[in-house]
Amino acid sequence: MKSFQNLILLQNLYRMRELGFEYSDPFSINEKSLQTIPMTIEQLSQNISTCHLCDLSKSRTQSMSGYGNPHANLMIIDFSVSANEDETNSYYAGRSGETLKNMVQNVLKLSVDDVYFTHAIKCKPLNSNMPSDSEWESCQSHLFSQMEFVKPKVVVTLGEYSYAKVTGENENFQSVRGHVIDFKKYKLIPIDHPQFLLRNPELKKIALNDLKTIKSCL
């Protein structure tokens, strides 16, 4: 009886294929590859390093979970991993990274080891393209979990794209830049990206005032 049922099923599958339907062989899921809910920031970092939720996992050298003090009062969020950061596996790479380091050390009077620095998008974008909404959606739970683990007093977003993704707001960036914003449990302060300041050095005085605002909140 079972053989007859299998024959009928096979005939129906052949008919469906002739009509243009496609089907594939069954497959099993490797449960070891599934990510578990992280209980510590170290477990979260491991999940990020092995994440394949979007196509950026194909273009990266590595994913970059975050760097610095996991109990920092200050958390800095860049938008996405740069090609330079991806290539060198460094969080303060290139002229932009050096500028950010100087801002932290010379104005905020903190070591880079005293702050927690991470990205909204944990991998280098493919061919330097703008990350898609779906790629951000794959990363956002990682970022918000990091915020829950670190529990900073102040969150600083670098540039308009980081601010927009973290807050979900698309207002004029310059209207909120340097302002102290209540966001979830934190004080969030958006500032210009160091790369933007390198292209517009006349804005460094404004950036200095923004950094003084950050320092006053710590």
Mean pLDDT over 94-104 rounds to 94
Task: Give me the phi and psi of 56, to 5 degrees please.
Answer: -65, -20
Distance of CA 77 to the CA centre of its chain: 8
Residue 209 has pLDDT above 50, yes or no: yes
* In the block, residue with structure tokens 């794959």: 138
Residue 124 vs residue 159, higher pLDDT: 159
pLDDT of res. 65 = 86
Backbone angles phi, psi at 98, to 5 degrees: -65, -40
DSSP 191: E
Residue 147 pLDDT more than 50? Answer: yes
Q: Please report which residue ranges of 50-157 form alpha helices under DSSP H.
A: 83-88, 94-102, 133-150
Residue 139 in this model has a pLDDT that exceeds 90: no
What is d(CA 18, CA 59) in angstroms, rounded to the nearest whole number? 38
Could you tell me which CATH number the domain at 38-217 has? 3.40.470.10
Average the pLDDT over each of 87-91, 113-117, 172-176, 183-187 and give the range with the smallest value: 87-91
In contact, 169 and 163? CB cutoff 8 Å: yes
Would you place residue 31 in the very low, low, confident or very high pLDDT band (cuts 50, 70, 90)?
A: very low
pLDDT of residue 181: 95
Find out whether 138 and 54 touch, Cβ atoms under 8 Å: yes
Average pLDDT over every residue of 6-20? 64
pLDDT of residue 27: 41
Query: Per the structure block, which two tokens stand in for 92?
Result: 């303060």
Distance CA 80, CA 120 (A): 6
Neighbours of 145 (CB within 10 A): 17
CA–CA gap between residue 6 and residue 172 (Å, rounded): 63
Structure tokens at 38: 């992280």
Rounded Cα gap, residues 57 and 48, in angstroms: 10
> According to the model, what pLDDT value does residue 16 have?
65
Give me the mean pLDDT over the 13-33 stretch: 56
- Spatial contact of 117 and 81, defined as CB atoms under 8 Å apart: no
Decide: 74 and 116 in contact? Cβ < 8 Å. Answer: yes
Per-residue confidence (pLDDT) for residue 20, from 0 to 100: 66
Mean pLDDT of the chain: 84
pLDDT of 77 higher than 70 = yes
User: CA dihedral defined by 119, 34, 131, 207, rounded to 10 degrees?
Assistant: -10
Check whether 13 has a pLDDT greater than 80.
no
Percent of the chain whose predicted confidence (pLDDT) is above 90: 50
Say whether pLDDT at 70 is over 90. yes
pTM: 0.80
Write out pLDDT tens, residues 170-199: 889 999 999 999 999 999 999 999 999 999
Provide mean pLDDT across the span 43-70. Answer: 81
Higher-confidence residue: 156 or 84?
Answer: 156
Distance set, CA 106 to CA 54, 60, 101, 206 (Å) = 38, 32, 8, 16
Domain extents for the chain? 38-217
